[in-house]
Amino acid sequence: MAHNTKVTADSNAPAVTRMLAEFVATHPSHGWDAQVEREAHRTFGNWLGCAIGASRHATLEAALAAVRELSPAPQASLLGRAERVDVASAALLNGIASHTFDFDDTHLRTIIHPAGPVASAALALAEHRGASGRELVDALVLGVDVACRVGNAIYPDHYDRGWHITGSTGMLGAAAACARLLKLDAGATAMALGIAASQPIGVREQFGTMTKPFHPGGAARAGLMAALMARHGYTASPRALEAPRGLMQTFSTKCDWNEIGDALGRRFEIASNTYKPFACGIVIHPSIDGCVQLRDEHALGADDVERVELRVHPLVLELTGKKAPRSGLEGKFSVYHACAAGIVFGAAGEAEFADAMVTRPDVVALRERVTATADDAIAEEAADVTVVCRDGRRLHRFVAHAIGSLERPMSDADLERKFHALVDPVLGAERARQLVALCAGLGGAASVAALAAAARP
């Protein structure tokens, strides 16, 4: 698929974030003249009058009714932890957790990670309301469909522009899933989608920071609250997605409306969901896969390798071009580190992206011998990997589709191994086995309560 280089991007913009932060943190108290001080008081008084004046309005009653549903906490589980919190905070925090390792699912056509926003909102609400497993699975399928269909309509322009599409479509998926769980009718569901449409979350500049996993979490929370507000009569535009000043035309130049209705109810986007074998962005999986394959087939160690030469789609360097990552999180945005880890360890799970890994001398030394060249002729899902050995051999592997892709999917056994690697250290192997069984039987479970309870220590 084509990715435009954004012609208006200005890499030399001054550091205005820092400038404003310094100003806010250090400007002296009352450091202005009397006119500013007077206007501050007039501003405050006028605001106060407006807020009190509208305090009994139907708008407030509807929003307050939704907020009241969050109380009393605790209402829903934090996965892997003993705490329970209000249902909206559970959606937020489980959404953050699920994307923290960059190890979650991917709808490859749009590179949306749909479960983060959708499942996080749906499980929290399902647990709180005593929903059945069937209701949860239905909500998940439909919510993922909504997020990914909107994604299909706007990708890649929307993503190229700078949006982190997981968070900027995920709030619609979360709203849809929660509307379904709340049994809202079509009109109220349209309001839920509409309220959510004013809350797209996430820009790509955040990649490599904690705010990246905030995006699916924030989207889960926003969608859940949108559904609760719609349930209590809060209104939005019924054309919030498609109108000229609606969400889609506002945040994307490309709006292929046909994608929304194409085989709706017959083709489900979740059927083409994929799962990551490596704990990092999907775009570097083919490169890692090639390195791991060559390592395993030729029993290579780091000392055998003179250098690694990658030819990759330009997006790989745009997203994961960090040459010298300083933390494990930054390591996930470094094709150099990921490939070095692949050769040293034969794996690129969460352990290989620990902070200590990106400063390990043997990994650092090898990553400095990895070169990557952007090549428009290489597809986004492919990579051309050459390992030049110290003994003069040139080992070559062209990876058309990485393990974990639609063409080479993870098997159920692969997924179970991955689940244990993630969950055993937190809850133990016995509990992890129990959770695997509960997940497998989810669609037939009378309630999601047992699963939510088993996910706590």
Token pair listed for 443: 């669609």
Closest CB to a copy of itself among residues 92, 378:
92
Of residues 1 through 60, those in contact with a copy of itself by CB under 8 A are 6, 8-11, 13-27, 29-32, 35-37, 39-60
CA dihedral (165, 112, 70, 225) positive or negative: positive
CA dihedral (288, 289, 292, 297) positive or negative: negative
User: Which of 1, 4, 83, 301 is in the footprint of a copy of itself by CB under 8 A?
Assistant: 83
Closest CB to a copy of itself among residues 159, 300:
159
Residue in 178, 198, 80 with CA at minimum distance from that of residue 127: 178
Centre a 10 Å sphere on the Cβ of residue 404 and count the other Cβ atoms it contains.
23
Closest CB to a copy of itself among residues 243, 388:
243
Token pair listed for 138: 């239905």
Asked if 262 is part of the footprint of a copy of itself (rule: CB under 8 A), the reply reads no
Asked if 63 is part of the footprint of a copy of itself (rule: CB under 8 A), the reply reads yes
Asked if 446 is part of the footprint of a copy of itself (rule: CB under 8 A), the reply reads no
How remote is the C-alpha of 414 from its chain's centroid? 22
Closest CB to a copy of itself among residues 205, 368:
205
Of residues 385 through 414, those in contact with a copy of itself by CB under 8 A are 412
Q: Which stretch binds a copy of itself (CB under 8 A): 285-293, 333-341, 383-391, 432-440?
A: 432-440
DSSP 27: S
Centre a 10 Å sphere on the Cβ of residue 337 and count the other Cβ atoms it contains.
30
**What minimum distance in Å lies between the beta carbon of 392 and a copy of itself?**
41
**What minimum distance in Å lies between the beta carbon of 45 and a copy of itself?**
4
Asked if 428 is part of the footprint of a copy of itself (rule: CB under 8 A), the reply reads no
Asked if 71 is part of the footprint of a copy of itself (rule: CB under 8 A), the reply reads yes
Q: How far apart are the first and last CA of the chain?
A: 44
Residue in 236, 123, 233 with CA at minimum distance from that of residue 181: 123
- Grouping H, G, I as helix, E, B as strand and the rest as coil, residue 123 is helix
User: Which of 156, 170, 208, 223 is in the footprint of a copy of itself by CB under 8 A?
Assistant: 208
User: Which of 1, 4, 130, 257 is in the footprint of a copy of itself by CB under 8 A?
Assistant: 257
Asked if 282 is part of the footprint of a copy of itself (rule: CB under 8 A), the reply reads no
**What minimum distance in Å lies between the beta carbon of 374 and a copy of itself?**
16
* 124 contacts 94 by C-beta, under 8 angstroms: yes
Asked if 415 is part of the footprint of a copy of itself (rule: CB under 8 A), the reply reads yes
**What minimum distance in Å lies between the beta carbon of 4 and a copy of itself?**
13
Q: Which stretch binds a copy of itself (CB under 8 A): 97-105, 305-313, 373-381, 391-399?
A: 97-105
Rounded to whole angstroms, the Cα distance separating 384 from 362 reads 24
- What is the Cβ-side half-sphere exposure of residue 16, based on CA atoms within 13 angstroms? 4
Token pair listed for 273: 């969901």
**What minimum distance in Å lies between the beta carbon of 124 and a copy of itself?**
11
Q: Buried b / exposed e across 38-50, counting CB within 10 Å, b at 16+?
A: eeeeeeeeeeeee
Token pair listed for 409: 């999917």
